[in-house]
Chain A
Amino acid sequence: MPTDKVAAVAIGRPIDAADAPGRGSSDLRLAIRELLRRPPAVFGLFCCTVVVIWALMPGLFSPMDPLEQNLDRYLKAPGYVDALGRTYWLGTDQQGRDILSRVIWGSRVSLIVGITTVVVSGLIGVFLGVLAGYNGGWMDTVISRIIDTLFAVPFILLAMALIAILGPSLQNMILAIALRTWIIYARVVRGEALSLREREFIAGAKAMGCGTTRILLLYLLPNLMSSTIVVATLNLGRMIIIESSLSFLGLGIPPPTPTWGGMLAEGRAFLDTAWWIAFFPGVVLMLTVLGTNLLGDWLRDILDPRLKRLGD
């Protein structure tokens, strides 16, 4: 497939400072053509788009008020039609609330927490990763040992304990998650910066008298972007799962705000009578994460083919 190679060369790294101008729209067209050739990536993009639109305009899509309770509608099966002729496509929960509406509104917390933690931990991780990789020396040693340490501490346990101590809220949840996940970015960026600093264009910039800040911002960071974007996309799904796990354990955003993890926790008490409460939020959660993973795989193939899939 020759066009694959063209795309990889045109979009892929390394972008030496010299070939930076004249890119742009043709890359975008190539990327779209690449995308259409990969059905899994299209499916991933579709899942992500749906969830993002839900989260932006839940009122437009949810058929009912997600908080409206009515005990007459206690645990109705999917497809139930009430006296007013309204259909509950995914059934109702133990308080008679519409599951479909709650699933749609629940996308908000997942996406807000997911995207914010990715951005916050990405910024911290890139910053410390560059510091460690580009400077080397004692700074590298210190940062690398911090990374090793945080890697060893069981993630969910640490996040749970922090949230419990600080009190459950959106802000504390993001803090507790980001405090640990930045190491994933830092590890990748550190490795990249280590090899980039030996490259000629950096030496050239130094020879031309560029200061360290200038080299970092203009020469190093642009070359770290693609791997960071790939790691961030692959990590987004993981963050959404962590958020839902914390909500499931009762350490998420307090009720009545609908969250997928919280809904699953409620559904747990009714596994034998009303399977749909625990089933549908999980399906949507899984498709969302699957979507980000498929997109991430595709981005990796076009942006950064050398990057191996990351654990954790």
Chain B
Amino acid sequence: MRAYIIRRLLQSLIVLQAVLLIVFLMLQITGDPAAVLMPLDATQEDLARFRHDMGFDQPLHVQYYNFLFGHGRSKGVLRGDFGFSFRHEVPAMGLVWQHFPATVQLALTALLIALVLAIPAGILSATFRNTWLDHWSSVGSMFGQSMPEFWLGLMLIIVFAVKLRLLPTSGYEGPQYIILPALTAGLYATARIMRVMRSQMLEVLGEDYVRTARAKGLAETAVVVRHALKNASIPVVTIVGIELGFLLGGTVVVEAVFAWPGVGFLVVDAINNQDYPVVQAAVALLAFNFVGVNLAVDLLYAWLDPRISYR
């Protein structure tokens, strides 16, 4: 077990290092980061001076070293310094951190909604397999997985904000503002968690110990809740963790639709204004989060299911 934990930690560290390399290479992909960062009307002299100031005239590995450990006034990304936002003239990482709580709030609410919808639906369609209830929830989950989430967002706005006038269209001013974005962001998670819950329940319901429980005369509800559900939920924990990771990094489009002031909204704005330090900081932060959540889930999984082997 300890070897497993150490190996997973090392793997995560390597991945984090590689994420930073990708973030670094993002600007290098055109071959001339100065041209990407400077305004279009910059003169050749401006560009040359900027290149020199930023160290872009150095060999690539030196640049990467400087990027990690600092160069000139920069402290380096390892100490959280991704440079200044050109547009807002504040440290890029600080700006991203400011917007991070709104993203976490949205992701957690979306996950909560997804769990509340998907777990009972998955259990019910497995227990009532091949009934109308099962068929309709399969159809629902199939549609859910095929729908572009931003389109669902627009449709929810038309129905609940424009026609029924029940909820606000966009913004961030009170608890009612989170309902539509969270429903939208939770769409894929709901569909996927439901599918996993259903198939796990089906698998477990065919096990010997469930037959034994039934044979000793337990009521069906007791069999499902006490015997089946407990064992079926272990893989669900993993998928829930993965979904949380996706949600933390994947609410970009939803935030754009609802003008939800999270990291995604900030990044879309930054991209439109060529404010790349902010984009780099955001990609790094969200990727770090994903790695962290996944690591936590794997360790939790190992702890929950003692049958797992750690190779």
Nearest A residue to B273 via CB reads: A164
Nearest B residue to A161 via CB reads: B279
Range of interface residues on chain A? 35 or more
Contact A248 B146 (CB under 8 A): no
CA–CA, A272 to B195, complex, Å? 35
Q: Which residues of B contact A268 (CB under 8 A)?
A: 154, 257
Contact B291 A152 (CB under 8 A): yes
Q: Would you call A31 an interface residue if the criterion is a C-beta within 8 Å of the partner chain's C-beta atoms? A: no
Contact B286 A157 (CB under 8 A): yes
Q: Would you call B142 an interface residue if the criterion is a C-beta within 8 Å of the partner chain's C-beta atoms? A: yes
Nearest B residue to A156 via CB reads: B252
Range of interface residues on chain B? 35 or more
Nearest A residue to B267 via CB reads: A157
Q: Which residues of A contact B151 (CB under 8 A)?
A: 264, 278, 282, 285-286
In residues 254-311 of chain A, which contact B (Cβ within 8 Å)? 261, 264, 267-268, 271-272, 275, 278-279, 282, 285-287, 289-290, 293-294, 309, 311
Nearest A residue to B274 via CB reads: A164
Q: Would you call A160 an interface residue if the criterion is a C-beta within 8 Å of the partner chain's C-beta atoms? A: yes
A-B contact count (CB 8 A): 141
Contact A286 B279 (CB under 8 A): no
Contact B19 A149 (CB under 8 A): yes
Q: Given A271-B157, A290-B146, check contact A249 B268 (CB 8 Å).
A: yes
Contact B264 A157 (CB under 8 A): yes
Q: Given A250-B272, A278-B151, check contact A157 B162 (CB 8 Å).
A: no
Q: Would you call B236 an interface residue if the criterion is a C-beta within 8 Å of the partner chain's C-beta atoms? A: no
Q: Quick one: which of A153, A162, A278, A312 contacts B19, CB cutoff 8 A?
A: A153
Max chain A Cβ within 10 angstroms of own Cβ: one of B249, B282, B290: B249
Q: Quick one: which of A149, A154, A267, A312 contacts B15, CB cutoff 8 A?
A: A149
Q: Given A152-B291, A164-B274, A275-B158, check contact A286 B146 (CB 8 Å).
A: yes
CA–CA, A161 to B268, complex, Å? 9
Q: Which residues in B have some Cβ–Cβ distance to A below 8 Å?
A: 11, 14-15, 18-19, 22, 26-27, 29-30, 36, 142-143, 145-148, 150-151, 154-155, 157-158, 161-162, 169, 192, 195, 239, 242, 246, 249-250, 252-253, 256-257, 264, 267-268, 271-272, 274, 276, 279, 282-283, 286-287, 290-291, 294
Q: What are 12 contact pairs spanning A and B, CB under 8 A? A: A149-B15, A149-B19, A153-B22, A154-B250, A156-B253, A158-B26, A158-B283, A165-B27, A165-B30, A278-B155, A290-B143, A311-B192
